[in-house]
């Protein structure tokens, strides 16, 4: 009866788990519990009962070990045990691959010589005044938790043996640490040591055993004896020993009973509708909300493909001071952890990776995370930037993805498909940081754009005029906007309605232009008429984009048409989207392009626009070929936008590594003008933010490091395009948290500071341990 009652409970719990906590569906250890014969002795106290306590202990172990589905049936009972024996485990059967116990028996002494504390609330630990007291040891694979103990038992717990601890101990035998288990004999029978190997955490650790299948760690749960008035809980060492013997992939070291955490794991989604290239990366932010911090030993990801192969990833961090600031193509440094999975599962199914070392986050700690693996990520298109997923302890903000780590183009928004399992307890990783601040000067861009929502579109009734002061092949524009009405259709030439399906591009006229249904004009083939206006596509060529890009559908019944007209003699074309419906709506949009294909100048005039369009507008111009992203510009608020024939990112300063103690901090000055004759390495404790235009620099240059230390390089002619230098050549221990600012300056001619002077962006280095 007890068995069937329990299985019913498991069934209901399983349904709830599937509905409420996706990770619970990652079937791991399933302990079937069978209550055997025997009655409790008269020496029990506390008010609890064996079945409830045994179930709590079994639940704990089920939540601790990560593996493919595995079931063991344990018969537990009261029975007389000789001498000072409190509990006994015997293996009944074993088998499978890897070999594991499949059935066992556990007996608790009832001959009257053992005084038991039967805790009515084993998950609360309220009867113990002290704890948990943690112990740790480096067994060869890094510092590992080897003790988690409550002491100072009061009331019924005082002077008695805690049955919950003994249940945990004996179940621990059934999961691998058994003298009758051939896997244990093979692992520890000769050298009395359990040697931990990947993919489990702490590879290289050698966990000592003693007295049969016990651990020779006095604070561990699996030590062969236990005192009274105290409680031992499973430690990393206990869990890892079983995981190694039974070839389980990972451990989840719980610090409290399962279900009492604030919602581990944090799961986004595994309904992938997109994915990247093999070797690509996904990016997201994590913020620790738990006051105790947390530790992440396991990250499940959605791996593209059919699965079956081993996989691994590198995990990189950016320490963030503000939300939504992860920079996918910024500086990430070396990986701070790795992940490994023995075998991936098909796309759409979580593949669990053990994280080594487990990633710790302290309270309030906010990090950008990049995961780059030897596999293709499967992920989900986001509906907004930095979509947030939260538990009570942890917040994840989804960012983006790239097909090559830290390299444009950036695909955004993308939602990483993940399930992040965590334990409470952790501190912010002492990661050294190198963060770019401010802008170098003088930046010059070939493109400009603005992204506006349908309701925020403020260009209706205005005309954008872009006058080309450069050449047709390398245009340079002066852009202004004024209030203006549309030119009449037919004012340039005979107008013809174009036949445009939804999301289609057609060649129009004889001037080489191509017209998109989504309000884009291309100067040649290759333009993308996608329905999601995307800056990276807009900037990516291969033709020029003259855009008021949004999702329109001129093929919708009742929609207005797109008219094309041209004057072949003057090379001028006019394209008018005349009351074209936004996709899926009957909201009409009128936009008119006039393009001079001889000199490259153009204008865009907006008439009445709908506020019901489902996608934003992307207004601007980008020439053919890949262009630097200038960032958005408020077109209506900027009196004059000037674009250049060639992109120039300005004098740059980039991180070559992090300022970690024991090493050197290296940076690189980039994009040095060929005519520069001096290169200044500026190092300062402060970041003044003073405009350098006041001493003769170009107006966009800013002082981003106080000149506490300046080294000067005299440059050859022509100057090298980049210089590697070392702001901190040797960082001693004890400086964790020390911050310093670096900036590069190049000078040309006389006077010393003039409009040819350049100042780079700043870098703020923060010394850390990693």
Partner 1 sequence: MALQSSSLRLVERLFLTLSLVAVSAAPIPAPASPPPMQDPQDIALQSWRDHLQGIGWPQELRERWAPRFLGVLRESVANEHGGNTMTWDGSKPGLLSTVTLVLDANGKPVQRPVVQLADVLEAR
User: Can you give the binding site for partner 1, defined by CB under 8 A?
Assistant: 81, 83-95, 99, 114, 161, 166, 169-170, 173, 177-180, 182, 185, 189, 210-214, 224-228
**Residue closer to partner 1 (CB basis): 194 or 610:** 194
Q: Which two tokens stand for residue 159?
A: 């002077």
Residue 574 pairs in a beta bridge with 565, 594
**Residue closer to partner 1 (CB basis): 227 or 631:** 227
| Cis, bond preceding 442 (omega within 30 deg of 0) | yes
Output the smallest distance, CB 292 to partner 1, in A.
30
**Residue closer to partner 1 (CB basis): 228 or 390:** 228
**Residue closer to partner 1 (CB basis): 185 or 472:** 185
Handedness of CA 624, 537, 275, 553 (dihedral sign): negative
CA pair distance 262, 282, nearest whole angstrom: 25
Segments of 110-219 assigned E as strands = 116-117, 128-138, 143-153, 161-162, 193-195, 206-210, 214-215
Q: Which residue has 């088998």 as its token pair?
A: 95
Q: Cα 71 from chain centroid? A: 33
What 8-state DSSP symbol labels residue 423? E
**Residue closer to partner 1 (CB basis): 92 or 506:** 92
Q: Single out the residue of 48, 56, 50 nearest to residue 36, CA to CA.
A: 50
Residue 555, burial from CB neighbour count under 10 angstroms (0-12, 13-18, 19+) = middle
431 within 8 A of 353, measured Cβ to Cβ: no
Cβ-based neighbour number of residue 196 at 10 Å: 22
Q: Cα 307 from chain centroid? A: 22
Q: Single out the residue of 236, 218, 237 nearest to residue 226, CA to CA.
A: 218
Output the smallest distance, CB 40 to partner 1, in A.
17
**Residue closer to partner 1 (CB basis): 180 or 755:** 180
Q: Cα 398 from chain centroid? A: 7
**Residue closer to partner 1 (CB basis): 166 or 436:** 166
**Residue closer to partner 1 (CB basis): 179 or 599:** 179
Residue 709 pairs in a beta bridge with 683
Residue 30 pairs in a beta bridge with 71
Q: Which two tokens stand for residue 440?
A: 């170098």
Output the smallest distance, CB 120 to partner 1, in A.
22
**Residue closer to partner 1 (CB basis): 177 or 667:** 177
Output the smallest distance, CB 227 to partner 1, in A.
4
Output the smallest distance, CB 162 to partner 1, in A.
11
Helix (H) or strand (E) segment spanning residue 15? helix 2-20
CA pair distance 325, 655, nearest whole angstrom: 17
Helix residue spans in 21-67 (DSSP H): 50-64
Output the smallest distance, CB 155 to partner 1, in A.
20
Output the smallest distance, CB 128 to partner 1, in A.
17
Residue 215 pairs in a beta bridge with 209
Q: Pairing between strand 116-117 and 281-288? A: unpaired
Output the smallest distance, CB 149 to partner 1, in A.
13
Output the smallest distance, CB 414 to partner 1, in A.
49
**Residue closer to partner 1 (CB basis): 107 or 264:** 107
**Residue closer to partner 1 (CB basis): 110 or 601:** 110
Q: Single out the residue of 61, 4, 73 nearest to residue 32, CA to CA.
A: 73
State the maximum Cα–Cα separation within the chain, in Å, rounded to a whole number. 110
Output the smallest distance, CB 38 to partner 1, in A.
16
Output the smallest distance, CB 340 to partner 1, in A.
30
One-character DSSP codes across 328-379:
TTS---S-SEEEEESS---TTSEEEEEEEEEEEE-TT-EEEEEEEESSEEEE
Q: How far is CA 197 from CA 99, 168, 345, in A?
A: 17, 24, 22
| Cis, bond preceding 132 (omega within 30 deg of 0) | yes
**Residue closer to partner 1 (CB basis): 170 or 450:** 170
Output the smallest distance, CB 214 to partner 1, in A.
5
11 within 8 A of 17, measured Cβ to Cβ: no
**Residue closer to partner 1 (CB basis): 135 or 664:** 135
Output the smallest distance, CB 31 to partner 1, in A.
17
Output the smallest distance, CB 226 to partner 1, in A.
6
Output the smallest distance, CB 238 to partner 1, in A.
13
Helix (H) or strand (E) segment spanning residue 463? strand 462-468
Angle at which helices 2-20 and 50-64 cross, to 10°: 40
As a dihedral over the C-alpha atoms of residue 609, residue 611, residue 613, residue 614, rounded to 10 degrees, the angle is: 160
**Residue closer to partner 1 (CB basis): 28 or 105:** 105
**Residue closer to partner 1 (CB basis): 77 or 648:** 77
424 within 8 A of 393, measured Cβ to Cβ: yes
**Residue closer to partner 1 (CB basis): 91 or 396:** 91
Output the smallest distance, CB 43 to partner 1, in A.
12
Segments of 688-738 assigned E as strands = 690-691, 702-703, 709-714, 723-728
Helix residue spans in 523-652 (DSSP H): 535-538
């Amino acid at each position: 009866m007890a068995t069937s009652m329990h299985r019913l409970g498991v069934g209901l719990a399983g349904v709830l788990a599937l509905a409420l906590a996706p990770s619970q569906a990652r079937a791991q250890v399933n302990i079937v519990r069978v209550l055997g014969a025997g009655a409790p002795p008269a020496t029990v106290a506390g008010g609890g009962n064996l079945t409830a306590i045994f179930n709590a202990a079994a639940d704990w172990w089920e939540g601790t070990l990560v593996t493919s589905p595995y079931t063991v049936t344990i018969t537990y009972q009261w029975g007389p045990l000789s001498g000072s024996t409190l509990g006994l485990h015997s293996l009944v059967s074993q088998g499978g691959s890897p070999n594991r116990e499949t059935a066992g028996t556990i007996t608790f002494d009832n001959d009257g010589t053992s005084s038991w504390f039967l805790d009515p609330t084993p998950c609360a630990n309220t009867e113990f005044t002290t704890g948990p007291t943690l112990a740790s040891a480096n067994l060869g694979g890094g510092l590992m938790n080897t003790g988690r103990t409550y002491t100072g038992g009061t009331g019924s717990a005082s002077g008695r043996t805690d049955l919950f601890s003994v249940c945990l101990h004996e179940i621990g035998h059934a999961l691998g640490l058994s003298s009758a288990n051939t896997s244990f004999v093979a692992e520890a029978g000769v050298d009395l040591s359990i040697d931990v190997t990947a993919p489990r955490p702490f590879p290289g650790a050698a966990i000592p055993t003693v007295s049969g299948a016990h651990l020779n760690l006095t604070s561990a749960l699996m030590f062969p004896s236990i005192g009274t008035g105290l409680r031992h809980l499973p430690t990393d060492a206990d869990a890892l020993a079983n995981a190694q013997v039974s070839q389980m992939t990972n451990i989840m070291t719980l610090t409290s009973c399962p279900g009492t955490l604030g919602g581990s794991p944090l799961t986004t989604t595994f309904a992938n509708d997109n994915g990247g290239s093999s070797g690509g990366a996904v990016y997201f932010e994590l913020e620790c909300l738990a006051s105790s911090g947390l530790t992440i030993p396991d990250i499940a990801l959605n791996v593209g493909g059919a699965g079956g192969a081993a996989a691994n990833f590198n995990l990189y961090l950016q320490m963030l001071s503000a939300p939504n600031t992860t920079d996918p193509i910024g500086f990430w440094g070396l990986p701070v952890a790795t992940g490994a999975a023995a075998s991936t599962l098909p796309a759409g199914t979580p593949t669990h990776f053990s994280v080594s070392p487990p990633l710790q986050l302290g309270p309030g700690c906010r990090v950008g995370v990049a995961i780059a693996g030897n596999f293709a990520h499967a992920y989900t298109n986001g509906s907004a930037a930095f979509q947030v997923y939260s538990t009570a302890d942890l917040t994840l903000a989804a960012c983006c993805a790239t097909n090559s780590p830290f390299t444009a183009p950036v695909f955004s928004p993308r939602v990483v498909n993940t399930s992040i399992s965590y334990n409470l307890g952790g501190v912010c990783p002492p990661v050294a940081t190198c963060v770019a601040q401010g802008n170098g000067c003088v930046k010059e861009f070939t493109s400009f754009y603005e992204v506006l929502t349908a309701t925020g579109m403020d260009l209706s009734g205005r005309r954008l005029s872009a006058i080309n002061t450069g050449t047709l092949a390398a245009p340079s524009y002066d852009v202004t906007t004024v209030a203006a009405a549309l030119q009449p259709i037919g004012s340039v030439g005979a107008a013809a309605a174009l036949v445009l399906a939804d999301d289609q591009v057609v060649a129009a006229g004889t001037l080489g232009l191509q017209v998109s249904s989504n309000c884009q004009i291309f100067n040649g083939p290759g333009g993308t008429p996608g329905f999601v206006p995307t800056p990276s596509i807009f900037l990516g060529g291969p033709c020029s984009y003259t855009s008021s890009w949004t999702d329109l559908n001129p093929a919708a019944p009742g929609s207005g048409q797109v008219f094309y007209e041209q004057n072949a003699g003057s090379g001028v074309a006019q394209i008018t989207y005349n009351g074209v419906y936004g996709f899926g709506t009957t909201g009409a949009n009128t936009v008119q392009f006039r393009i001079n294909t001889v000199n490259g100048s153009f204008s865009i005039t907006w008439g009445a626009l709908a506020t019901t369009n489902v996608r934003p507008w992307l207004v601007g111009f980008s020439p053919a070929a890949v262009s630097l992203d200038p960032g958005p510009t408020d077109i209506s608020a900027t009196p004059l936008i000037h674009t250049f024939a060639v992109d120039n990112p300005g004098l740059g300063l980039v991180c070559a590594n992090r300022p970690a103690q024991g090493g050197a901090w290296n940076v690189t000055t980039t994009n040095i003008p060929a005519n520069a004759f001096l290169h200044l390495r500026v190092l300062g404790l402060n970041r003044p933010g003073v405009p350098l235009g006041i001493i003769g620099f170009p107006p966009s240059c800013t002082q981003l490091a106080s000149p506490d230390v300046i080294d000067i390089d005299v440059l050859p002619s022509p100057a090298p395009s980049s210089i590697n230098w070392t702001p901190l050549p040797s960082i001693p221990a004890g400086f964790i948290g020390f911050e310093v600012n670096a900036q590069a300056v190049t000078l040309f001619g006389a006077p010393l500071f003039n409009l040819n002077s350049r100042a780079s962006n700043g870098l703020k280095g923060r010394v850390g341990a990693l």
